[in-house]
Structure 1
Amino acid sequence: MYRFFRGLFALIGLIVVVVAAGGGYLAYKAWDREEPVSDTIVLNLDLDQDLAEYVPADPLSEALFARTESLRDVVDALDRARMDPRVKGVVARLGGDQIGTGKAQEIRAAVERFRASDRFAFAFSHSFGELGPGDRSYYMASGFERIWLQPVGLVGLTGVSASVPFARGALDELNITPELRHREEYKSFMNTFTEKGFTEPHREMMEALIGDLEGQLVSGIAQGRGMDPAALRQLIDRGPFLDREAVAAKLVDQIGYFDEVRSAALARAGAGAELIDGADYLRSAGRPHVSGPTIAVIYGTGSIQSGKTGVDPLSGGTSMGSEDMVEAFDKAAADPQVRAILFRIDSGGGSAVASETIRRSLVKAREAGKPVIVSMGEAAASGGYWIAMNADRIVAQPGTLTGSIGVVAGKMVTSGLWDRFGIEWGEISKGAHASMWSSLTPYSDTESQRLDAILDDIYGAFVRNVAEARRLPVTSVRDIAKGRVWTGAQAKALGLVDELGDMDTALGFARQAAGLAQDAAVTVEIFPKPDSPFRQVVDLVTGASEARTAAATQAMLARFQPLLRELAPLVRDPAAETLTMPPTGLTR
């Protein structure tokens, strides 16, 4: 009995401490939302980092863990600031190539909207790729009014390239036999395990992707810097550029240090101007789109899986759990205040079953009278396209990786590896196909037939659903499918995507679908809505929530994520992710 009461009082004490800490933090946040002291503001943005697509707003997690800045935070800060008369301009620091093409295009579009509101925008870099590529960061910078480069810095503008791993030689050394099948020849995910180099279809696809993305890079930079595309291509073939060479080539406007850029920006803004970090500004001024009819926004990011959303250590972000996605769509569809749903997708796919579960929840929301507009981010391919295809309208960035309408499945036969180490496995089974998924034996003839039937069925359903959803002939879909990855620009030409643009473009279509003017004021509300701080405390104490553990795990793995992203194709289980985009070496 004593131990019971001791545990009870300890639990009560923990609740009191956590509630007090959370309450104190929320009180601080309320106090901290007072207006900035200055009436003249210059935004300060750090774009020299990888940006998560979206970080859920979680007051308790913010109290216990460091908050990670997201793409949404950067874009919201720029969109809020362009409507704020106190904000006169922005200074952004860029450098490495951590941000992928789709996100770079999203940020650049937000910068262009900001500049169109008669505000200045300065870009600064210590080096656009220090002894490494800097093409995407320079592409973003070319959307700014002026570009500053620190002395001794480089402009690593060298063109677009991609590296794809092939592990067949290593598997042969380990006596591991890949038994993988795909539909169809461009579904090259299995090639990582089965080949020692590019197959002809794989090479054809990659060359087309690189060619289109290089064209987008050149046209964007040429437009931003007022240069002839042909002349720019000649410049790129001479890169990377030393600081003085970059100035002479008109790739950079001025050489200087960040304190000089800051002084120039504050002088441009006027007397009493202050440089304020984007996150601090957003916390003080609030996000845009907080009045008017409600548009629900649902984020679907990461590898698609059945069950709950969790942390994906390979990407550093969250996986997309089908249960949570269904809950989000169901709640948005049932909310009478919601006029339309904006579904933001950043995913290379995953489980076919989970993808179908999410697709069905989108269809049900439309049947309930809620239009659904999809906005594609860095990638919306394979399973990521499966969950998008039934939307009322699909908007993609030109550099979004999408399509990959195909399927892959199979297993690794490891019996040779165990033989090498003298390890014997005893196995007892009853049923002709009881050991079908065992890694100890290859598929029998009848098991191979069943696997082929599964692949044919999933691929057939994928093609038929695309044809029906996109109002295309089945034969046409088969021609453009075959597992092939397309850029957003290519996908639009093929009818897989409706419009090219960013999330703001998609929000405009959501307004139209809701019967509103394209520029009407709307309230953007994230679904599912976050739990109250008290509910979060209860979940934390009772163990009902894994959010804190997930956040800690993500922080611990952050320093290893660049390496893990490169190794991801080699360690994922191909049998568990039948709708997965092949590795392209192009996403971040």
Structure 2
Amino acid sequence: MKQFFLTVLGVFTGLILFVVVVPVVLLTVAIAGASKPTTPATMVLELDLREGISDQPSTNPFAAFGGSGLSVTQVVDGLAQAQEDAGVKAVLVRLPESGMTPASADELRQAIRRFRASGKPVIAHSQGFAPSGAVMSTYMVGASASELWMQNTAGFQATGFSADSLFLGRAFDKYGVRADFEQRYEYKNAVNEYTQSDYTPAHREAMTAWMTSLYDSALANAAQDRKTTSAALKTVIEAGPYSAEQALSNKLVDKIGQVEEAEAEIKRRAGKGAEIVEFGKYVSEKGERTGSGRNAIAIVGGEGAIVTGRSDGGGFGGGSSIHSDDTAEAIYDAIEDKSVKAIVFRVSSPGGSPEASEQILAAVRAAKAAGKPVVVSMGAYAASGGYWISSEADWIVAQPSTLTGSIGVFGGKFVIADALGRFGVDMRELTVGGSYADAFSPTQPFTNSQRAAFAASMDRIYDDFITRVATGRKLEPARVREIARGRVWTGAQALPLGLVDQLGGLNEAVAKAKALAKIPAGESVRFKHFPKQKSPWEALSEMFGVQSEAAQALVMLGGVMADPQAQAVMRRIEGERMRSEGAVVLADQPVF
């Protein structure tokens, strides 16, 4: 009886706390979704890239609460619709001052060029190009516009490409932390930041190679769009930095002006009565392209670290992970859909769990066995585990600047008992079972027998990885071992190595999927997206174990927020920690 009254009190307290705020927010979203907004008859779309851009839209129905912005695939899709939309007359692009993820920049450039080919102008406006990260990729996107404008007080400081690495080896030595890791092999450099104080020769070699590839690719593309040569542009770029006036005189930009002036000019070109419309609002109202025709191409998405299990769909943020149950199920759903003739698997991942990666790859194999070709479209990254899940596709399309490969594995632990002891904190352990039971205890390094067993598991995972790549890419295992060893390649470098089949983006992947499915190039197809995004009501029904209609009604009444699970959802913060047990197929992720 006492427990009953405590439960009632808890429910009542939860009801009081959550009956007002959360239902009002959800009702506002519901009302907004039910309304039918209208767009002006004559539009200029403003694409603001300054807040960053993901590869794919979040499938989390509550992502909007976390401020989820635009994705590359949304921009590509939105520009494709806009070029066919008689109401859209032009686009204004707001460029970030710092670098962009190079592969994302490649895809945006291609989409802008296709939009311009429809006869509609694009003005890009910059408030400066800062000397940070892959700023040349940002400049490349600006160069693809009809005109590139720059603010009068801004500096043109794009003179190359830089990347920084933080090494903790000396700090760990000083404070008694031991990074006890194994790596396969010398180019699997994610471990080095914990064990070294500087780049190893292999680390420096690999990074310099892919950075040079990214830089050369951005220069070549920008030079093409600026109607000059790569050599000439490189000479001018590297002689910088420049003021806005100097950038103009060196023909790096087309005009100096404030963004308000650029807006006025693009509206003038669009025609009388033209209004600026935010790109996000436009794509939200248009929705995803569904296409037409009796045959369908499935688009299966996956972005983030690869982990085992299933996403619970909860939380009000927009964190991204590739959950193996969800992604494999999405592929199986596409297999079972009789209208789907081929699958485009969009992968943007630095890797993760080998077990999760294998589960997803098994679904790819099942699709091929069912007679449905699978084409992988690589986004920003498709490295390590991201390459594992791609390796046996029928065809792989990558951007020149996609970071891929990293065919290797690493794993280990941090031994922190000595470090804690310096602060008067004593860590002890108790173990029951075999000698490997405490192998990953942070109290002591691996014993000789534990290290031997762990090293053997690392070798097995590496050999499995080699086998999958050799099978999928039709290469001799010995050849795969030569080009593997954990080394990261760009898409441009991977093409002649046979690790990818074609350079391009989502459009090229769809075209190849149609060809492999023997659908005539001129025939229209429908697009089906997997996994399907749940509505907030469906997500709530899964969280609380009730039907969607009941969840909606409960939210309207506010009663659902009395449930302790709902309170937990409200407290959940964005992001997920990748689950691994000792070994991961994960590539290091440079910050652009």
Return 537-546 or 119-128, whichever deviates more: 537-546
- Aligned counterparts of 2:514 and 2:386: Cα–Cα separation in 1: 24
1:438 aligns with 2:444: no
- Residues 309 and 322 in structure 1, CA contact (< 8 A), matched pair in contact too: no
Return the offset for 1:122: 0.5
1:303 aligns with 2:323: no
Return the offset for 1:156: 2.2
- Residues 178 and 414 in structure 2, CA contact (< 8 A), matched pair in contact too: yes
1:224 aligns with 2:244: no
Question: Given the superposition, is the C-alpha separation of residues 371 and 301 from structure 1 closer, same or farther in structure 2, using an over 3 Å criterion?
Answer: same
**Paired position in structure 1 for 2:402:** 400
Return 513-522 or 93-102, whichever deviates more: 513-522
1:454 aligns with 2:460: no
Return the offset for 1:89: 1.3
The residue correspondences of 1:361-376 to structure 2 (distance < 5 A) are 361-376=363-378
**Paired position in structure 2 for 1:560:** none
The residue correspondences of 1:251-330 to structure 2 (distance < 5 A) are 251-292=252-293, 293-309=295-311, 317-330=319-332
**Paired position in structure 2 for 1:248:** 249
Return the offset for 1:138: 1.1
**Paired position in structure 1 for 2:164:** 163
- Aligned counterparts of 1:237 and 1:312: Cα–Cα separation in 2: 48
In the alignment, which of 450, 474, 486 is matched to residue 471 of structure 1? 474
- Residues 135 and 161 in structure 2, CA contact (< 8 A), matched pair in contact too: no
SS state at 1:427 partner:
coil
Q: Which amino acid aligns with 1:128?
A: F
Question: Given the superposition, is the C-alpha separation of residues 345 and 132 from structure 1 closer, same or farther in structure 2, using an over 3 Å criterion?
Answer: closer
**Paired position in structure 1 for 2:36:** 32
1:553 aligns with 2:573: yes
Question: Given the superposition, is the C-alpha separation of residues 110 and 24 from structure 1 closer, same or farther in structure 2, using an over 3 Å criterion?
Answer: same
**Paired position in structure 1 for 2:530:** 527
- Aligned counterparts of 1:111 and 1:337: Cα–Cα separation in 2: 31
CA-atom RMSD in angstroms: 3.2
- Aligned counterparts of 1:185 and 1:92: Cα–Cα separation in 2: 42
- Aligned counterparts of 2:422 and 2:61: Cα–Cα separation in 1: 53
- Residues 98 and 131 in structure 2, CA contact (< 8 A), matched pair in contact too: no
- Aligned counterparts of 1:264 and 1:546: Cα–Cα separation in 2: 50
SS state at 1:394 partner:
strand
- Residues 294 and 338 in structure 1, CA contact (< 8 A), matched pair in contact too: yes
Return 216-225 or 525-534, whichever deviates more: 525-534
Name the TM-score, length of structure 1 as normaliser. Answer: 0.88
**Paired position in structure 1 for 2:553:** none
Q: Which amino acid aligns with 1:535?
A: E
- Residues 301 and 531 in structure 2, CA contact (< 8 A), matched pair in contact too: no
- Cα deviations by residue, 1:127-181 (Å, 9 ceiling, x for unpaired): 2228887322111101111011111111221111211221100100111122211
1:428 aligns with 2:434: no
In the alignment, which of 561, 571, 578 is matched to residue 584 of structure 2? 578
- Aligned counterparts of 2:539 and 2:424: Cα–Cα separation in 1: 51
**Paired position in structure 2 for 1:488:** 491
- Cα deviations by residue, 1:475-531 (Å, 9 ceiling, x for unpaired): 111110111100001111100001000111111112222222335322222212233
- Aligned counterparts of 2:565 and 2:394: Cα–Cα separation in 1: 34
- Aligned counterparts of 1:523 and 1:126: Cα–Cα separation in 2: 40
Return the offset for 1:232: 1.3
Stretches of structure 1 that go unaligned for 5 or more consecutive residues are: 558-567
Between the two proteins, the alignment pairs up a number of residues equal to 568
Q: Which amino acid aligns with 2:451?
A: S
- Residues 133 and 162 in structure 2, CA contact (< 8 A), matched pair in contact too: no
- Residues 43 and 278 in structure 1, CA contact (< 8 A), matched pair in contact too: yes
**Paired position in structure 1 for 2:149:** 148
**Paired position in structure 1 for 2:205:** 204
SS state at 1:437 partner:
coil
Question: Given the superposition, is the C-alpha separation of residues 385 and 550 from structure 1 closer, same or farther in structure 2, using an over 3 Å criterion?
Answer: farther
The residue correspondences of 1:47-58 to structure 2 (distance < 5 A) are 47-56=49-58
- Cα deviations by residue, 1:420-466 (Å, 9 ceiling, x for unpaired): 23443333324222221212122222112111211111111111111
Name the TM-score, length of structure 2 as normaliser. Answer: 0.88
- Aligned counterparts of 2:415 and 2:23: Cα–Cα separation in 1: 52
1:536 aligns with 2:547: no
- Residues 307 and 322 in structure 1, CA contact (< 8 A), matched pair in contact too: yes
Return the offset for 1:219: 0.5
- Aligned counterparts of 1:579 and 1:308: Cα–Cα separation in 2: 19
Return the offset for 1:365: 2.1
Return 363-372 or 150-159, whichever deviates more: 363-372
Question: Given the superposition, is the C-alpha separation of residues 546 and 481 from structure 1 closer, same or farther in structure 2, using an over 3 Å criterion?
Answer: farther
- Residues 133 and 161 in structure 2, CA contact (< 8 A), matched pair in contact too: no
- Residues 306 and 578 in structure 2, CA contact (< 8 A), matched pair in contact too: no
- Residues 373 and 394 in structure 2, CA contact (< 8 A), matched pair in contact too: yes
Question: Given the superposition, is the C-alpha separation of residues 27 and 517 from structure 1 closer, same or farther in structure 2, using an over 3 Å criterion?
Answer: farther
Return the offset for 1:194: 1.4
Return the offset for 1:316: 7.6
Percent identity reads 35
SS state at 1:233 partner:
helix
Stretches of structure 2 that go unaligned for 5 or more consecutive residues are: 546-562
- Cα deviations by residue, 1:95-147 (Å, 9 ceiling, x for unpaired): 32352001011111100110111111110112222888732211110111101
1:377 aligns with 2:379: yes
- Cα deviations by residue, 1:6-51 (Å, 9 ceiling, x for unpaired): 98899999899988975764454343344x232x222111012211
Q: Which amino acid aligns with 2:505?
A: D
